[in-house]
Amino acid sequence: MKMDLETRKKRAEVIVTKLKELFPTTKSALEYCNPWEFLVAVMLSAQCTDVAVNKATEKLFRKYNTITDYVNADPEEFNSDIKTIIFHNNKTKNVLATAKIIHEKYKDKLPQTMDEMLALPGVARKTANVVLGIEFGVVVGIAVDTHVRRLSNLFGLTTNDNPDKIEKDLMEVLPQKEWPEFTLRMIDYGRKFCPARKHDHEHCPLFLELKKAELI
């Protein structure tokens, strides 16, 4: 049953407050040194663990120091460099094509609007939201990854499974200033307290907090 907007807003307020208490500071688990490397890492992370991405990019970022290095990269060699990453064939095509666009159209600087980011090969809303919000403070949406999708449904912030619809539901109930770190904190929370595997969910901190607030 779909919950009314006011109840969802109350739940969101309790959840954000508790997440801040549990994770006063937060940052992406991906390792990088500049906005371009962050974009590459996020693109590689689709359906892949951050641990696997960091292991691959540790060598990748040493080998390819500049966007020009990516533009001049041999596709077969680059593909071999990221062969441990799931869907590495498509990701090779997208990363190298994006590098060419960034180099030629944007003079090696990442664009800072959603429309421009979405025009880049392999960049969907989740990736664009993460990069724009964290690197440039451009907050136009909420990145919905697997943790955000699962936990937002679990705690009654949405009843949708489609990431775009989930994002819209979350934008209705969360203050815009909370959007970038909400995703990061939900990821941290899912990993530390509430994984997808079977566990004692009724003793998860957010469940207990919502229960205390009589919102469950």
126 belongs to the catalytic site: yes
Q: H helices within 85-202, ranges in order? A: 88-105, 114-118, 125-136, 146-154, 163-173, 179-192
DSSP 42-101: HHHTTTS-HHHHHHHHHHHHHH--SHHHHHT--HHHHHHHTTTSTTHHHHHHHHHHHHHH
Q: Which of 18, 91, 145, 169 is catalytic?
A: 145
Q: Which of 81, 91, 126, 188 is catalytic?
A: 126
Give dist(CA 211, CA 216) in Å, integer.
5
The token pair at 34 is: 């500049």
Residue type, 31: E
- Catalytically active residues, by annotation: 126, 145
